[in-house]
Amino acid sequence: MNTTSSLIIRLVALLWLLACSPLLQAEDDAPVLMVYGDSLSAAYGMADEQGWVQLLANKLAASGSDWQVVNGSVSGETSTGGLARLPAMLESYEPDLVILELGGNDGLRGLPLDILRDNLLTMIREIRASGARVILAGIQIPPNYGPRYTVPFYQMYGEIAEQENLPLIPFLIDGIAQQAELMQNDGIHPTAEAQSMIVDNVWPVLEPEL
């Protein structure tokens, strides 16, 4: 290959890199939405692509949105475990917006509400300190735990949202938990068929924040 041909090839390669670099930069700078929850958001009992978080990511992509969705949810996660994992997750993904969906497993274990409240408030403040905004997802636990626990448990999410001035998804699986055919055999987790309904519950609160 002569010198002229080599220079032309190098010039073409340089121009291609320069042309592509804005696209690469735009992708790197795309805003990040992190869903930080437990099995309700971790596609429990189904393939990941069937879960509501992936369906939400598909919805955003189909609308032409540049938001990237990260699922930081872990089945069985408690507020204590979520609090321990949170700093590393914030550092790794640098989210701009976080849907915080934790507390259900604490409730099923009968954790004192003051501990759960403190854990949620600490996570909310850590997320905000990182520069991200927070949407809080409310949870209800089965009525067999008794109204003296289940009622203040559910009310706590609204109280935190009001105290911290947060957008609130009142009950993540509203309209689903009330229909046995939309729940898995454990009576706790929605089926794959119900995942799009979770997106419908999330979307009215999420859309104004995007």
Active site positions, annotated: 39, 186, 189
List strand residue ranges (DSSP E) for 83-149, in order. Answer: 97-101, 133-137
User: Residue 89's Cα: distance from chain center in Å?
Assistant: 12
How far apart are alpha carbons 159 and 11 in whole angstroms?
Answer: 62
Contacts for 75 with CB less than 8 Å, ≥ 6 apart: 38, 39, 42, 44
Asked whether 167 and 135 are in contact (CB, 8 A), the reply is: yes
How far apart are alpha carbons 21 and 29 in whole angstroms?
Answer: 12
How far apart are alpha carbons 206 and 167 in whole angstroms?
Answer: 8
How far apart are alpha carbons 7 and 33 in whole angstroms?
Answer: 44
